[in-house]
Structure formats: structure tokens, C-alpha cells
Amino acid sequence: MAVGLIFALLSSASVGAQTEPSRPSLKSSVDSNDWGPYFDLGVEKLRRHPQEAAHCFYGASRLAPDRAEPLYARWVAFWMLDQERWIGYLLDEREVLRRPEVIQADSLRYRAYLRNPFVHEGLSILLFEQLPGRFRSDPATKGWIAYAAGDLATAVSLLGKAIAADSVKSLWVRQMRASALVNLGQIEGALAEMQALLRQLRREEATTLARPYQSKELVLYSIGLLHASRGRIGPARDAYRQALVENLAFAPAHRRLAALTLQRDPASSASELAQAVELDGDDAVLHSEYGAVLLAGGKPAEAVAEMRLAVAKEPWWADPYFTLGRALEANGAPDQALAAYRMFVARAPRSAVMLSTAEGRISALAPR
């Protein structure tokens, strides 16, 4: 059985409006403001109760919209609900690919890659386990199975053998091997794989028609993240800028360029985030980061506007409420700041770093 299109990026369309499902029930001892328990419960339910798992992953993604894992899991849960639809997707059936709900689901996968191009994709093995037939015994498939099982060292070895046997046959092999290497902390090895993948994409671009599932800007973005993780600012900046050459509307590159310049040039950082927000105005994470930079730059009124957009788009997410409270205080609105801090405390997981600070501000601002 084919492993599938691990590196498929069909659409960057945002997820449309939908009815808010209620949060799944958790044990009373579990922190219901923490995304992790919802995600874990979803994983537990995914094989036998995919609809319930989808609700769990939805809750996790709304509590932590900055995380890749719940978004990717929502994509898996969507396909677990309909085997026939999944087979049509694997076969690139146009009728399936054009369905609005499929485009919507693929936007979740794409968003997950934007959050973290190296997000672990092991849950996808469940999609193939439900299909008829047996897995092949070639190194690529065996490596993928090891990756899904969390045996990353074995996966790296087997996927390396697959690449050595045929370095151009399957692009997803390099991407998955890079993901395994990142999760093992072997950044230089992952960087080598992503650079080889980029060279391969460019060679194929010159000799074949454009492929709908390949995104050089995302590969360049991934390369930039790897360089940045090692403090190599110049190479990271070059990679992000090359990603923008590939796609001027690629907002995440602006976001990462902003992070590179935040300490030494806050004005440039704000400018990059302003462009990112303009390109992807539905992303609450971008609004939240832009608001924080504006506040640090002495523009509390503008920061308030951005943070209000962030909390409107992701009302379950705690973090923006804290920054909103700080911005409102700085803007001379203590009563509104008090309300924002209280909303933060009501939504924050018990492990939140700023929880005690917010509680202190509530004590200071509350009427006596």
C-alpha cells in the first residue's frame, strides 16, 4: 500500500465559520484549561470514536491555536470519519479534492505546517491501517511505520536507506526523515535533508509541470527555522526572504523575520508583523504577536486594537487576554484591564507562567 502524500499542501484557505462544539468532559482532577489533556483524550479515542476524537482535537486547537499538533490531529480525524473519501483523496480524485469540507480540512493541515513544519505526523498511520491490504516491506514504508510508533532512531536509519536506494523517488521520505531528526535534536542532519529536498524541487520544476502538493516557500521557511534554532541569523534571514520570493503572500516568513529583528530593531519587527497581519488577518497568533510588539514599542492604543482582534478570533486562548490587560493599563483604562486579567485567569492553565502576575494585577486593580 502506498504511504501517501506526507508533504501535501493543498490549500492555505482559512477554516470557515462553524458551530462551536462543547468541550469534551475531562476528569475533575485534570486542568480543563490545558490543551494537552484534550489532545491526549482525542488520541485515545481516534481509532474507535473518530467523531469524539475530532471534538477533543478541536478543543485543544482552540485552547492553544499556536500549537501544530491539534491542527494536524483534526485533519487526521476528518479523514478517519469516511474511508471512501480518504481513498478518493489518495487517488487525487477531482470530485473529492474540490469538496468544500476537504479544502477546509486541508487548510488545517497547512496551518499545522505553518506552526511547525516538523510536527510529528505519526497519527496518520491510522488512516492507512483501516484500508484493505498490508503494508509493504520496503525501507521507506518500514521507516514510516517506525516514525509513527515513535521509534525515531530506527526511522532515521530506514528512511536513510530508502533515500540511498533512490534519492529522487519520494519527496516525502526526506521531509519525514528531517522531522524525525528534528525530534531527535539532530538539527544539522535535518537541515541537510531539507536543503536536498529544496534542490530536488528546483530540479523537478525545471523539467516537469508544477505539482500542486509541493511548496518551495515552506521548505525555505523550514530551513530558516532550523538556522534560527542554531542562532544563525544571517542564513535564517536569507531563507525567509527567499520564501517570500517564491510567494510574496507567505505571511509566516514575515512573522519569522520579525522575530529575528525584535531585539535590535523593534520598528522593523513591527513592520514585518504588520505585513503578516495584512496578509493573514484571520490568524489570531499574528494579531497577538503584533499587539505585543506594539505595546513594547510604546503604542498601547494600537496594541489594544490588535489584542481585541486576537481574543475575538480565539476567545478560548488565554495568552492574549494578559497582553490586552497590560495594554489597557498602559492606555489608562484600569477597569477594562481588570476585566481582561480576570478573563486571562479564568482561561489560563494552571502551568501558565504569567498566572501569578495576573492575579497580582487583579488584586492591585480591584475596588476596595
DSSP 49-80: -HHHHHHHHHHHHHH-TT-SHHHHHHHHHHHH
Range of the domain at 100: 33-116
Judged against a pLDDT cut of 50, whether residue 302 lies above it is answered with: yes
Judged against a pLDDT cut of 60, whether residue 14 lies above it is answered with: no
* pLDDT band for position 360 (cuts 50, 70, 90): very high
Q: Which pLDDT does position 169 carry in this prediction? A: 67
Q: Find out whether 336 and 361 touch, Cβ atoms under 8 Å.
A: no
Cα gap 228→236, rounded to integer Å: 5
Residue 354 is placed in which grid cell? Answer: 504569567
Cα gap 151→316, rounded to integer Å: 34
Residue 91 is placed in which grid cell? Answer: 487517488
**Closest C-alpha among 120, 106, 130 to residue 12:** 106
* pLDDT band for position 214 (cuts 50, 70, 90): low
Pick from 84, 116, 148: which residue ends a domain? 116
Residue 198 domain flag: no
Instruction: Share the mean pLDDT of the chain.
Output: 90
Residue 306 domain flag: yes
Residue 272 domain flag: no
More confident of the two residues 41 and 21: 41
Q: Find out whether 146 and 154 touch, Cβ atoms under 8 Å.
A: yes
Residue 204 domain flag: no
Mean local confidence (pLDDT), 336-340: 98
Q: Which pLDDT does position 17 carry in this prediction? A: 38
Pick from 116, 141, 172: which residue ends a domain? 116
Residue 298 domain flag: yes
Judged against a pLDDT cut of 60, whether residue 9 lies above it is answered with: no
* pLDDT band for position 135 (cuts 50, 70, 90): confident
Q: Which pLDDT does position 12 carry in this prediction? A: 29
Q: Which pLDDT does position 206 carry in this prediction? A: 61
Residue 305 domain flag: yes
Question: Alpha helix (H) ranges present in 125-215?
Answer: 125-129, 139-148, 152-165, 171-183, 187-207
**Closest C-alpha among 301, 295, 282, 299 to residue 322:** 295
Residue pLDDT, tens place only, 69-106 = 999 999 999 999 999 999 999 888 999 999 999 999 99
Judged against a pLDDT cut of 70, whether residue 356 lies above it is answered with: yes
Q: Which pLDDT does position 3 carry in this prediction? A: 31
CATH number at residue 310: 1.25.40.10
Residue 275 domain flag: no
Pick from 93, 116, 139: which residue ends a domain? 116
Residue pLDDT, tens place only, 223-260 = 999 999 999 999 999 999 999 999 999 999 999 999 99
Q: Which pLDDT does position 264 carry in this prediction? A: 87
Summary count for the chain: helices (H), strands (E):
20, 0
Judged against a pLDDT cut of 50, whether residue 16 lies above it is answered with: no
* pLDDT band for position 156 (cuts 50, 70, 90): very high
Residue 202 domain flag: no
More confident of the two residues 59 and 11: 59
Domain count, the chain: 2
Residue pLDDT, tens place only, 253-281 = 999 999 999 888 889 999 999 999 999 99
CATH number at residue 42: 1.25.40
- Which 3 state secondary structure label does DSSP give 83? helix
